[in-house]
C-alpha cells in the first residue's frame, strides 16, 4: 500500500476515535486535542497551594505528513500546551523522538498513548527549572515567572467546566427539594451551595426583615457562614426597591464599622 493511502487510512481512524477533538487542516496536516484521563481526586500544586480539580484543558498535537511516512520516517509534529513548562514540553518532544518507530507502520495513535501517560497522578506547576535550549516543536510552554498565573488559569478553567456541567444537569433544591434544571438554580459563588430562585428569594426577604444584611446575610445552608454576594442577592430577589434597601443598609453598616468616619450631622 502506498504511503498516501496509509496516511488517508490513519486520518479516517483518528477522526472516528477523536471525533470533534480532531481537526483536519488539509490532507497532510491535522490537529488532535488530547484530553488527560484524570482520577477523581486529582490535585494540582503550586508551591504550598493545592487545588482539587476534575478537568484540565486539552494538549494540542499537530501532525504534518510528508512523503516518507510511514515507509521510512515518522511524521513531523508540534506540541502545544500552556500549562506544561517549556522544558517539560521539550522533554515530551524528545520522548516522542525516542519512540521506536517501525518503518511501514503508522504511529500517531501510539504517540497519543505516550503523551497521555505524562499526566496520571497529581500535577505540579514547577518553579525551579532552568530554561535550556529551545525546540521549535514545543509551543506555548510556560516560563517560571508565569507559573502562578498558570495555576490560577487551571483553577478557573476547571470552574468553568464544572459550571457548564452543573447547568446542563437536573439539580435538587435543598430547601424545597424540587428538582429543577441547573440553569434555573442560583449557585453561590463563595461556597457552591445552590437553591431555586424562589426559595432563595423568600430566605433573603425574611433575613432582611430580621435586620440582617451585609456579611450577616449568609448562605442558608446550616453551618455555612459564607455571605451572599450583592449580585446574588439582586438575582434572587429581582426587586429594585428591596435591593436598594439591602445595598443602603450594607453600605451604611460598612461605613459605621469603620471607626475613623464621622457621620455628617445634616
**For binding to Zn ion (CB under 5 A), which residues are involved?**
173, 175-176, 191, 193, 196, 199, 219, 221, 224, 226
Grid cell locating 128: 525551579
Nearest distance from C-beta of residue 193 to Zn ion, angstroms = 3
d(CA 65, CA 34): 19
Backbone angles phi, psi at 234, to 5 degrees: -60, -45
CB of 180 to Zn ion, least distance (A): 8
Length of the chain: 266
**SS3 assignment, position 195:** strand
Whole-angstrom CA distances from 144 to 46, 87, 139, 255, 264 are 12, 10, 15, 42, 52
For residue 151, which of 139, 142, 160 has the smallest C-alpha distance? 142
- Angle CA 84–85–91, to nearest 5: 85
Nearer to Zn ion, 66 or 225 (CB): 225
Distance, CA of 52 to CA of 54 (rounded, Å): 7
In the bound complex, what is the minimum distance in angstroms from residue 152's beta carbon to Zn ion?
A: 23
Q: Which is nearer to Zn ion, 155 or 175 (CB)?
A: 175
Pairing status of strand 59-64 against strand 49-52: unpaired
Closer to Zn ion at the Cβ: 138 or 196?
196
Instruction: Name which of 78 and 196 has its Cβ closer to Zn ion.
Output: 196
Cis peptide before 130 (omega within 30 of 0): no
Q: How far is the CB of 210 from Zn ion (least distance, A)?
A: 19
Q: Which helix (H) or strand (E) holds 123?
A: strand 123-124
Q: Around 17, how many Cα atoms within 13 Å sit in the side-chain half-sphere?
A: 15
Q: Tell me how far, at minimum, the Cβ of 190 lies from Zn ion, in Å.
A: 7
Output 21 or 193, the one with its CB closest to Zn ion.
193
Smallest distance from Zn ion to CB 221, Å:
4
Nearest CB to Zn ion, comparing residues 74 and 220: 220
CB of 170 to Zn ion, least distance (A): 13
Nearer to Zn ion, 63 or 199 (CB): 199
Looking at the DSSP bridge assignments, the partners of residue 43 are: 52
Cell of residue 112, nine digits:
497519543
Amino acid at each position: 500500500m502506498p504511503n498516501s493511502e496509509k496516511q488517508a487510512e490513519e486520518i479516517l481512524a483518528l477522526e472516528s476515535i477523536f471525533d470533534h477533538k480532531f481537526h483536519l487542516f488539509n490532507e497532510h496536516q491535522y490537529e488532535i486535542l488530547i484530553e488527560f484521563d484524570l482520577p477523581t481526586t486529582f490535585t494540582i500544586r503550586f508551591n504550598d497551594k493545592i487545588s482539587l480539580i476534575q478537568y484540565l484543558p486539552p494538549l494540542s498535537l499537530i501532525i504534518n505528513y510528508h512523503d516518507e511516512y510511514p515507509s521510512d520516517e515518522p511524521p513531523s509534529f508540534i506540541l502545544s500546551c500552556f500549562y506544561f513548562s517549556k522544558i517539560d514540553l521539550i522533554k515530551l518532544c524528545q520522548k516522542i523522538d525516542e519512540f521506536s518507530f517501525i518503518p511501514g507502520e503508522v504511529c500517531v495513535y501510539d504517540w497519543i498513548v505516550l503523551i497521555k501517560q505524562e499526566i496520571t497522578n497529581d500535577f505540579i506547576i514547577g518553579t525551579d527549572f532552568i530554561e535550556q535550549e529551545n525546540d521549535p516543536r514545543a509551543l506555548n510552554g510556560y516560563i517560571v515567572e508565569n507559573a502562578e498565573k498558570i495555576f490560577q488559569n487551571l483553577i478557573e478553567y476547571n470552574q468553568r467546566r464544572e459550571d457548564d456541567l452543573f447547568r446542563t444537569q437536573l439539580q435538587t433544591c435543598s430547601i424545597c427539594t424540587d428538582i429543577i434544571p441547573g440553569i434555573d438554580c442560583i449557585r453561590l459563588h463563595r461556597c457552591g451551595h445552590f437553591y431555586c430562585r424562589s426559595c432563595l428569594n423568600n430566605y433573603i426577604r425574611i433575613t432582611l426583615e430580621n435586620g440582617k444584611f451585609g456579611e450577616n446575610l449568609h448562605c442558608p445552608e446550616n453551618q455555612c457562614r459564607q455571605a451572599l454576594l450583592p449580585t446574588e442577592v439582586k438575582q434572587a430577589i429581582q426587586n429594585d426597591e428591596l435591593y436598594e434597601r439591602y445595598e443602603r443598609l450594607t453600605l451604611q453598616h460598612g461605613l459605621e464599622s469603620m471607626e475613623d468616619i464621622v457621620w455628617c450631622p445634616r
